[in-house]
Amino acid sequence: MADFLDAITQSNNVSEHTDHVSSGSISNEIAIGVSHITKVYKLYDRNRDRLKEALHIGRNIHCREHYALDDVSFDVYKGETVGIIGTNGSGKSTILKIITGVLSQTAGELNISGRISALLELGAGFNMEFTGIENIYLNGTMLGFSEKEIDERLESILEFADIGDFVYQKVKTYSSGMFVRLAFAVAINIDPEILIVDEALSVGDVFFQNKCYRKFEDFKKQGKTILFVSHDLGSISKYCDRVILLEKGHKIGEGEPKEIIDMYKKVLVGQLDSTVDTEKSQKLHTGAMWKDSMQLNPNVDGYGNGLAEFEDYCAYDNSGTITNTIIKGDEFTVKVKVRFFGDVSDPIFALSFKNMQGTEITGTNTMFEKITTGTPKAGDVYTVTFTQNMSLQGGEYLVSLGCVGYRNGNFTVYHRLYDVFNLTVISSKNTTGFYDMNSIVIVRSKEQENDVQK
């Protein structure tokens, strides 16, 4: 793959890249050139102030300026797949709408080389009183195709949408699933030179999503230029050659996927600034609260008999950064601090993971691990660490903690916290089921196998 940006920019100091090494189907020709783009919205305290300004009435009209984008620059080369990530409100969708012509920029220059198909607001151009077939021709015409060109693509569109005879009914009778299937099929089958995608690959059921991703991969193999916005960091890692990180309208990073995803993880927990990052990493070794650097469940379910309490807890990655995001395959640690309010014999410390549907996926405890925990006294504080490799598939998981044991022969819950925080697992390769067996797969021809046996 091409050797892209080496330098990652921090805060507002955005460095421009000057070299782009061509490799494979990626060329040195720019498909999308974004130069110092700024988008400013005026915010008014009262609607009448907006009207007065539009009619040029009055002089002292008060408004505030909101910079959705502030001096953003980047290039996307032909044949390249570039991802854009960032928190909500960072400007991701705004820059895509400017590139596709839905919005106009306040300042800056935009240069496009190639025909664009945009998967932004699916079905935005559909007429609800028209049938599916009529909307296919309507949208195709809006995209600049002749009736003959649409005829040539009609079979592919209908096959991809797979909604049967409903295509001859008015779209206002469609379910939401059928609607997005048809809209996606129209947008994806017009053979664009540049594909703009904004979270559109998650439409429909799991089988249709799989079809969408296969089409996406076909586009990559054909050397299409793709600009891809998603909160699914696993897809960003898997498909993108280069990633751009936006935050509050500024471009704060650009480079290889893993590097920028690591940077984004710091943004999510407020650790982007190097000084702040150092201070928060030191929380693992000082008296500061670890959980203050985590995204926690505000409605955590906790109970127990009061003899123990989880005083602090966090997860941290293999670089020692407290985080809710772990790369699949990396080592990570869940660390807890438990305070005891009475004498307890051989407490059992437990950790478990659920998926978002509430199914318990995996977990362990000190009894399973054959660890003797002793007899803590009232006032004692124990620190427990669970360190393991992340083998779960990419996705969202909920972490639960437990401190239990046997008291007077009866099983007793001292303190238990259900779904106390989430962990996002980022994966560039998912297998079947909940976890990856990390299989080593070798395929040889008969001749190769004979050579090995010799």
Predicted pLDDT of residue 23: 44
Roughly what angle, to the nearest 10 degrees, separates helices 176-188 and 206-221?
10
Q: Which residues are within 8 A (CB) of 360 and not within 5 positions of it... i.e. 6 or more apart?
A: 352, 353, 354
| The architecture CATH gives domain 30-268 | 3-Layer(aba) Sandwich (3.40)
Predicted pLDDT of residue 275: 40
Are β-strands 242-247 and 81-86 bridged in parallel, bridged antiparallel, or unpaired? Answer: parallel
Predicted pLDDT of residue 273: 60
Q: Which amino acid is at 319?
A: S
Judge contact between 152 and 116, C-beta under 8 A. Answer: no
Q: Which residues are within 8 A (CB) of 209 and not within 5 positions of it... i.e. 6 or more apart?
A: 201, 202, 203
Judge contact between 313 and 291, C-beta under 8 A. Answer: yes
Q: Which amino acid is at 272?
A: L
pTM: 0.63
Burial letters 123-158, b for 16+ CB under 10 A, else e: beebeeeebbebbbbbbbeebebeeeebeebbeebb
Q: Locate the domains of the chain by residue range.
A: 30-268, 288-426
Q: Which residues are within 8 A (CB) of 423 and not within 5 positions of it... i.e. 6 or more apart?
A: 315, 324, 325, 326, 353, 396, 397, 398, 399
| The architecture CATH gives domain 288-426 | Distorted Sandwich (2.70)
Q: Distance between CA atoms of 187 and 205, rounded to whole angstroms?
A: 18
pLDDT tens over the chain, length 454 residues: 233 223 223 333 333 343 444 344 677 899 999 999 999 988 776 676 666 666 666 666 667 788 999 999 999 999 999 999 998 889 998 999 999 888 999 999 999 998 887 777 666 678 889 999 999 998 888 777 889 989 999 999 999 888 999 999 999 999 878 888 888 888 788 778 898 887 655 556 667 777 777 887 888 888 889 998 887 777 788 889 999 999 999 999 999 998 898 888 778 766 666 444 444 455 565 668 999 989 899 999 999 999 999 999 999 999 898 999 898 899 999 999 999 999 999 999 999 999 988 999 999 999 999 999 999 999 999 999 999 999 999 888 999 999 999 999 999 999 999 999 999 888 777 788 899 998 998 998 888 888 888 7
Predicted pLDDT of residue 395: 85
Tokens of 142: 């809006």
Residue found under tokens 């100091």: 13
Judge contact between 217 and 201, C-beta under 8 A. Answer: no
